[in-house]
Amino acid sequence: MNFELLNLDAAQAGHEKCDVLLMLLASTFKAARNPLATLIGKALKAGDLADKPGSLLDIYRPADLGCARLVLVRVGDGKCANVRKGVSAAMALIKAAKPKQVALCFDQAPDSASLHVALTTVAEASYVYASTLSKAEARTIALVKVGVPNSTELATPFAQSVAAVRGIELAKEWANRPANHATPSHLARAAQALAKSPRIKCEVMGRKEVEKLGMGAFLAVAQGSAEPLKFIELHYRGAPKSTPPVVLVGKGITFDSGGISIKPAAEMDEMKYDMCGAASVLGVFKALAELQPEINVVGLIPACENLPGSRAVKPGDVVTSLSGQTIEILNTDAEGRLVLCDALTYAERFKPQAVLDIATLTGACVIALGGVRSGFFSGDAALSAAVAQASESSQDLCWPMPLDDDYAEGLKTSFADVANVAGRPGGAITAAKFLQRFTSKYPWGHLDIAGSAWKSGTAKGATGRPVGLLLHYVLSLQTPAA
Ligand code: BES
Ligand code: MN
Ligand code: ZN
């Protein structure tokens, strides 16, 4: 699916050749003397199109217009939430007709966030999973022409949104693949494929190298599976070497059975999604490959399966992490923090300006925030402000969570420096407190995406979050042109 940005006012939008024209109308719409506006004016006068975000009016072969079908879409004040409502309602309406060329036009100049939401909503609604179907249905929309009256000022945001869509779709693709089609080795190959792009390099470590480094926590999780572990390191270098990088650490558990502390059978298949953090890092690199911005980014992905077996780590085992801290593994199902803690220590070597980890870390975060907002944890004010800003501008939302030291009480044990679990209360926060012990050398933030990274039920599937948020964050670090 390609996107094209056109400078069109409402009159010009009416002449655009396409299968479907989605005409977004804000509350402020004013009738004018051209075929499209006249038609809209009549519909409004007749009371056939309520001024309610998401209201639609579907018109077949309208006279004197370029489109075969016109859908009028109300978007209220034109702000993000209403644009999303309108565009997703319109996409649901036109889906069955399988249009090839869609024009998506705004009657009022959108801001970059509204434009971003429109593009990501079109992509979301038209995405089809294909990789493990024998007869896959291809996506029908080949081209989306985006018409705005202010295309010059939106050129850069448009390019960023298109790149975000590419990244989101790569993340969805990998996340949706079943665990036997998305092993650590497969992820490593996907990362190496990204390194074919300019400015990107990739290195992959196997068990021997990881052992030599001393990543005892990561190794403990991986040891129950015959599937080889991979530690994936991606580098995007768009700024001088002297510019400290941002490091993104993605949890890459390609299947989480719980290990010896095994999970119940119901919905266990969804634990193929336990690598959504890793997938989001791949997605960000895909977008960086397209945009080539002047920043430095490192991506780290500790990838393995968490399975039970005769070699699996056992509840009560104590392991030594890369940091030197010993960890009592009281619950083998709290494996994400174990693979992440070694990656977080490894991140120190890059002398980063900030480190963000992204993980489907806790069921408790799903209970706390549901699927709307990811949980965000950070003790760093500047990083928190930048992430909050990126959350808004991408509409890939997160919400600040606390890190009071009192939450770490439950992680105390007599048999190691720290235990890998505390009690059930505040489970998302105690998990974050565990990670925080490994992040003293740099500004750190943690995104718990257990609720936001995929949808369950009939619409089961990865969301590609938080690629949008991460991309907006890393791009915000570009030094503005002098
Ligand atoms: N991958 C899970 C977290 C998860 C659970 C994500 C459900 C999405 C939906 C993680 O590895 C896990 O099992 N966490 C445990 C931690 C507990 C043992 C302290 C959990 O949340 O139950
Ligand atoms: Mn687990
Ligand atoms: Zn897990």
Residues noted as catalytic: 263, 337
Q: Whose CA is nearest to atom 8 of ligand 1?
A: 450
Ligand 1 pocket by Cβ (under 6 Å) = 256, 274, 331, 333-336, 360-364, 366, 421, 427, 450
Structural domain includes residue 471:
yes
Tell me: do 221 and 255 sit in the same domain: yes
DSSP symbols for 393-460: HHT--EEEE---GGGGGGG--SSSSEES---STTHHHHHHHHHHTT-TTS-EEEEE-TTTSEE-GGG-
- Quote the ligand 2 centre to 334 CA distance (angstroms): 5
Q: Which of 275, 276, 333, 407 to mutate to test the pocket of ligand 1 (most atoms within 8 A of CB)?
A: 333
Of 119, 149, 179, the last residue of a domain is 149
| Model pLDDT, residue 479 | 82
Tell me: do 247 and 389 sit in the same domain: yes
Tell me: do 313 and 352 sit in the same domain: yes
Tell me: do 43 and 15 sit in the same domain: yes
Structural domain includes residue 157:
no
Closest ligand 1 atom number to CA of residue 362: 21
CATH code of the domain in which 25 resides? 3.40.220.10
Residue 118, amino acid: A
Would the pLDDT of 249 be above 60? yes
Tell me: do 141 and 171 sit in the same domain: no
Place of tokens 């015959």: 226
Structural domain includes residue 336:
yes
Q: Whose CA is nearest to atom 3 of ligand 1?
A: 362
Q: Which two tokens stand for residue 10?
A: 């409402």
Instruction: Give the CA-trace dihedral at 38, 44, 46, 51, to 10 degrees.
Output: 170
Residue 97: C-alpha distances to residues 20, 59, 68, 92 (Å): 10, 13, 11, 10
Q: Whose CA is nearest to atom 9 of ligand 1?
A: 363
Average pLDDT (314-328) is 99
Average pLDDT (185-213) is 98
Closest ligand 1 atom number to CA of residue 422: 19
Tell me: do 144 and 175 sit in the same domain: no
Tell me: do 248 and 118 sit in the same domain: no
Tell me: do 117 and 29 sit in the same domain: yes
Q: Whose CA is nearest to atom 14 of ligand 1?
A: 362
Of 120, 149, 178, the last residue of a domain is 149
- Quote the ligand 2 centre to 414 CA distance (angstroms): 23
Closest ligand 1 atom number to CA of residue 424: 19
Tell me: do 23 and 116 sit in the same domain: yes
Distance CA 218, CA 228 (A): 12
Average pLDDT (123-132) is 95
Number of domains in the chain: 2
CATH code of the domain in which 327 resides? 3.40.630.10
**Paired residues of 56 in beta bridges:** 73
Tell me: do 377 and 464 sit in the same domain: yes
Mean pLDDT, rounded, of the chain = 97
Tell me: do 456 and 312 sit in the same domain: yes
* Sequence-separated (6 or more) residues with CB below 8 Å from residue 324: none
Number of the ligand closest to the Cα of 363? 1
Structural domain includes residue 202:
yes
Q: pLDDT band at residue 319, thresholds of 50, 70 and 90?
A: very high
Portion of the chain with pLDDT greater than 90, in percent: 98
Q: Is 266 exposed, middle or buried (0-12, 13-18, 19+ CB in 10 A)?
A: exposed
Structural domain includes residue 161:
no
What digits encode the pLDDT tens for the residues 13-24? 999 999 999 999
Listed residues: CB within 5 A of ion ligand 2? 256, 333, 335
Residue 102 lies in domain: 2-149
**Paired residues of 358 in beta bridges:** 250, 447
User: How many Cβ atoms from other residues are within 10 Å of residue 408's Cβ?
Assistant: 18
Residue 4: C-alpha distances to residues 119, 286, 324, 355 (Å): 11, 19, 52, 34
Closest ligand 1 atom number to CA of residue 271: 1
Structural domain includes residue 211:
yes
- Quote the ligand 3 centre to 110 CA distance (angstroms): 40
- Quote the ligand 3 centre to 316 CA distance (angstroms): 18
Q: Whose CA is nearest to atom 16 of ligand 1?
A: 334
Of 123, 149, 175, the last residue of a domain is 149
Would the pLDDT of 481 be above 70? no
| Model pLDDT, residue 482 | 55
Structural domain includes residue 102:
yes
Portion of the chain with pLDDT greater than 70, in percent: 100
Structural domain includes residue 160:
no
| Model pLDDT, residue 136 | 87
Q: Which two tokens stand for residue 86?
A: 């309108």
Taking a C-beta distance cutoff of 8 angstroms, is the pair 82, 75 a contact? yes
Tell me: do 179 and 93 sit in the same domain: no
